[in-house]
Structure 1
Amino acid sequence: MSLPIQHEPENQQFTVSQDGHSAELSYSLPAKDVIDFTHTFVEEELRGQGIGDELAKAGLAYAREKKLKVRTTCSFMAGYVAQHPDYQDLAEAG
């Protein structure tokens, strides 16, 4: 699946719109080298299509590119990282 995911650094979120509906992955930057994924939301009409996974991949790719450690306050993101060993190296120690 290839979705037009937008990174909006001014709003600290990754977003996607499809068929008039939207989804978002919000984050904060609590420390200079840490990104905290705080919230994932996918509108009902877009659920079950893997859009949350695509947002997760985009956010984690950004973290890797910027050499940020990942904190997952968002339970969806915590589960996603736990299920994908290739992202374990990004997890913030602690």
Structure 2
Amino acid sequence: MKLQITHDQDDLRFYASLDQEEAELTYFVTEDNVLDFDYTFVPENYRNQGLADQLVETALRYVKENNLKFTPSCPVVEAYANRHPEYQEFMVL
């Protein structure tokens, strides 16, 4: 399933609508303008389909395209970043 992901900059999240539910990746911005990805949620009925990876990929592409930095406080984001070395240079631990 390919998600249609929206970046809501006012609410600090990347999300996708799934029928009556939403999958989301939330973040906050630190004083150093680093995006700290802190929480990923996929509704139970949609898990194990690669949807969390799609959210993370979209968020990390945003970081890369805007020459930002990110902190992977969420273990899902950390695991994805560790599997994709093209995002390592943007990661701040």
TM-score by length of 2: 0.91
> What is the number of residues matched between the two proteins?
93
- By how many angstroms is 1:32 displaced? 4.2
| Paired letter, 1:89 | E
Q: 1:57-77: per-residue Cα shift (whole Å, max 9, x none)?
A: 110011112211110111111
Could you give the per-residue CA deviations for residues 7-30 of structure 1, whole angstroms, max 9, x where no partner exists?
111100000112333210000110
The residue aligned with 1:60 is 60
Query: Which residue identity is paired with 2:13?
Result: Q
5+ residue gaps in structure 1?
A: none
| TM-score for both structures, normalised by structure 1 | 0.90
Task: Compute the RMSD of aligned alpha carbons.
Answer: 1.4
Describe how 1:6-17 pairs up with structure 2 within 5 A: 6-17=6-17
Q: Equivalents in 2 of 1:29, 1:75: separation in Å? A: 18
Q: 1:21 & 1:76 partners in 2: Cα distance?
A: 20
Question: 2:80: which partner in 1?
Answer: 80
Residue 44 of structure 2 corresponds to which residue in structure 1?
Answer: 44
Structure 2: gaps spanning 5 or more residues: none
2:18 corresponds in structure 1 to 18
